[in-house]
């Protein structure tokens, strides 16, 4: 009986991923027969789980939407994953710490001792590296309001703070994206007739509009790709001991994707942009600029130009020692650093 119950719970966890699987595929995963799988499916149906039979090519069995909520069952790996997520969510969402703690306590009480030990093994202190500049924890109510508008395809009215100014916008919200430890809203602005990637930590959601809209095709066909290549997504330059900028002979969308955290990208022309960034030293900052492998001009401040000049001198010495190596120094860098 215990083996049967364990197998049925494992079958339920397999259905939980949302896939449609044949009886043969399920039998392989469970290490049992097709006949046993069908019997276990009947058991789940008796317990109140809606297991749908899908006919035709690509058919099989899948978990449907039940009219009532049956007991939620996790296998050990799922329980550990849920416990870890509940421990980390207060770092990215504000106003949810107490609820997450209560949910975690409930989950711990229901977990076997072994699973609880595995979950507790993931309790670690957090640390930031040099290039991590996450936004402050996002207000959970803001995420809930925006997320609800996205799911219902309703216009959302928000206050947005950017470049020191606050504006009120009515937007067509399409997706929420978490990238580089920051939350972004991908939305179309009908008044400006353009797409926006907006930092959620700078948004204040107003009352629901209940006004529907039709979804549009997102640029690049992917909200994540749109955010990664949007140079005007609201990022701000971080405070560093050394900070400088230069015009790069690359499109803003290219530089925005690969710029280190805590930097900003400004559109200049179709093929050039200004990158502002910082580092712990002027040579370190100069080295970051050179990683883009593009011509650089209009370099500021003088300390950054001097650091580039020093790097050129060191590279030249290295080339003289090993003549088989060839290093090309952009002529505009040489001019600016001269």
The confidence band for 166, taking pLDDT boundaries of 50, 70 and 90, is confident
Does residue 186 carry a pLDDT above 90? yes
Q: Is the pLDDT of residue 178 over 60?
A: yes
User: For the chain, which domains are there?
Assistant: 2-63 (1.10.10.10), 76-120 (no CATH), 138-229 (2.30.30), 242-337 (no CATH)
Higher-pLDDT residue of 303 and 280 is 303
DSSP state of 233: S
The Cβ of residue 235 has, within 10 Å, a number of other Cβ atoms equal to 22
130 backbone dihedrals φ, ψ, rounded to 5°: -60, -30
Q: Is the pTM of this model over 0.85?
A: no
Average pLDDT of 188-207? 93
pLDDT at 171 over 90: yes
- Of 69-78, 198-207, 249-258, the least confident: 69-78
Joined tokens for residue 164: 């020191």
**Each residue's pLDDT tens digit, 63-119:** 876 544 455 666 667 777 777 677 767 766 767 777 777 777 777 766 667 666 666
302-331 pLDDT tens trace: 999 999 999 999 888 888 755 554 445 444
Contact indicator for 203, 142 with CB cutoff of 8 Å: yes
């Amino acid at each position: 009986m215990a083996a049967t119950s364990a197998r049925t719970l494992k079958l339920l966890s397999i259905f939980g991923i949302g896939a449609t699987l044949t009886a043969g595929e399920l039998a392989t995963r469970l290490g049992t027969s097709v006949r046993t799988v069908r019997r276990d499916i009947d058991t789940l149906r008796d317990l109140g789980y809606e297991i749908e039979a899908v006919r035709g090519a690509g058919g099989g069995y899948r978990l449907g939407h039940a009219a009532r909520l049956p007991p939620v069952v996790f296998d050990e790996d799922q329980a550990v994953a849920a416990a870890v997520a509940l421990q980390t969510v207060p770092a990215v969402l504000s106003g949810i710490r107490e609820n997450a703690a209560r949910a975690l306590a409930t989950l711990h009480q229901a977990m076997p001792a072994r699973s609880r030990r595995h979950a507790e093994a993931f309790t670690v202190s957090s640390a930031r590296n040099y290039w991590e500049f996450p936004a402050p924890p996002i207000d959970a109510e803001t995420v809930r309001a925006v997320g609800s508008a996205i799911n219902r395809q309703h216009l959302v009215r928000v206050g947005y703070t950017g470049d020191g100014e606050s504006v009120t916008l009515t937007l067509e919200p399409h997706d929420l994206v978490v990238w580089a430890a920051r939350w972004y809203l991908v939305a179309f602005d009908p008044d400006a007739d353009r797409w926006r990637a907006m930092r959620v930590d700078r948004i204040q959601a107003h009352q629901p509009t209940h006004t529907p809209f039709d979804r549009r095709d997102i640029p690049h066909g992917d909200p994540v790709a749109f955010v990664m290549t949007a140079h005007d997504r609201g990022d701000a330059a971080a405070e560093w001991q050394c900070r400088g900028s230069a015009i790069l002979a690359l499109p803003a969308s290219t530089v925005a994707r690969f710029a280190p955290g805590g930097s900003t990208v400004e559109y200049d022309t179709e093929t050039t942009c200004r990158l502002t960034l910082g580092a712990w030293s002027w040579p370190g900052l100069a080295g970051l600029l050179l990683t883009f492998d593009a011509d650089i001009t209009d370099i500021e401040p003088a300390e950054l130009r001097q650091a580039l000049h020093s790097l050129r001198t060191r590279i030249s010495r290295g080339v003289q020692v090993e003549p088989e190596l060839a290093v090309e120094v952009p002529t505009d860098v040489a001019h600016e650093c001269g």
